[in-house]
Amino acid sequence: LDGVEAVEIAISAPKVHRKLVAIGSGKGGVGKSTMTANLAAALAKKGVKVGVIDADIYGPSQPTLLNAHAKPEARDKQLIPVTSPSGVKLLSVGQLVEAGTALAWRGPMASGALNQLVEGDWGDTEVLLVDLPPGTGDVQLSLVQKAKPAGALVISTPQDLSLIDATRAIDLFEKVGVPVLGLVENMAGYRCPHCGEESDPFGSGGAQASAKELGVPFLGRLPLSASLREASDAGRPPASEDGPAGDAFATLADALMS
């Protein structure tokens, strides 16, 4: 088939024992990257040595979310992660190409870039979060099979369309023997800043019900929040600050580490 290629990712086994956690979603735009950046910031705030691999080759947003745009230096052909102001080490395809450049990569090029990120000089990093591209295609499958994460988190909105795709992502992880650590519901509920009225633009409770049905832990929900969006866009993950968002992500970080 034209345009379809096998993706081969040759990642050698990590030399140091560290916990690698994949963050996936069935659909794009559900907040997977925002969640990854904040979870990493929450772990860093707790004193955990944490790194993020931004494997979202088609929409690498971690350099913006973590404010770590510098081009990584290389030593002995190994990329050195860039440390964000919140103390998270980051390697992203977004750091390797000009901002705004379309990553029209075929399979082999994408897998070559992902190899470089996974085999970067992660030093004494204890937890490595991998922000996967959305979906359940070849790139995700190869990366998960080769990098062998200790577990996976799946992010979904409460909307049925998102949950159907999240179910596919859970199925993919289970098929390749990666335990699903839990499902997190994002954009769950909105409180109007003017009148205080609460509404559910994407529905409510769907992820919890799906998690129960699928037999995976439900780890919690995060509301739709303009301040979370603004802080994230500005490269200041709210999880690294004190406050309700900081507390929520600290709880999620604890669940991840337990």
CA angle 63, 247, 150 (to 5 degrees): 60
Q: Which is nearer to ligand ADP, 14 or 59 (CB)?
A: 59
Question: Interface with ligand ADP includes 222 (CB under 6 A)?
Answer: yes
Question: Interface with ligand ADP includes 29 (CB under 6 A)?
Answer: yes
Of the listed pieces 5-13, 32-40, 78-86, 212-220, which binds ligand ADP according to CB under 6 A? 32-40
Distance CA 179, CA 28 (A): 22
Helix/strand/coil for 198? strand
Distance CA 27, CA 208 (A): 17
22 close to 149: Cβ distance less than 8 angstroms = yes
Residue 238 CA: distances (Å) to CA of 35, 111, 113: 11, 32, 29
Question: Interface with ligand ADP includes 34 (CB under 6 A)?
Answer: yes
Q: Is 177 annotated as a binding residue?
A: no
Question: Interface with ligand ADP includes 224 (CB under 6 A)?
Answer: yes
Q: Is 26 annotated as a binding residue?
A: yes
Can you tell me which of 38, 61, 67, 111 binds ligand ADP, judged by CB under 6 A?
61
Kindly report the length of the chain: 258
Question: Interface with ligand ADP includes 186 (CB under 6 A)?
Answer: yes
Question: Interface with ligand ADP includes 31 (CB under 6 A)?
Answer: yes
Can you tell me which of 11, 18, 28, 69 binds ligand ADP, judged by CB under 6 A?
28
Of the listed pieces 22-30, 113-121, 145-153, 238-246, which binds ligand ADP according to CB under 6 A? 22-30
Where are the strands (E) in the chain, listed by range?
19-24, 50-54, 74-75, 78-79, 82-83, 89-92, 127-131, 151-156, 180-186, 190-191, 198-199, 218-222
Distance CA 240, CA 247 (A): 10
Q: Which residues contact 132 (CB under 8 A, 6 or more apart)?
A: 22, 23, 24, 25, 32, 55, 56, 140, 143, 144
- Binding map of ligand ADP across residues 117-136, x = CB under 6 A, - = no contact: -----------------x--
Question: Interface with ligand ADP includes 232 (CB under 6 A)?
Answer: yes
Q: Is 51 annotated as a binding residue?
A: no
Binding residues: 26-33
Residues engaged in binding ligand ADP (CB under 6 A): 25, 28-34, 61, 134, 186-187, 222, 224-225, 228-229, 232
Binding residues for ATP: 26-33
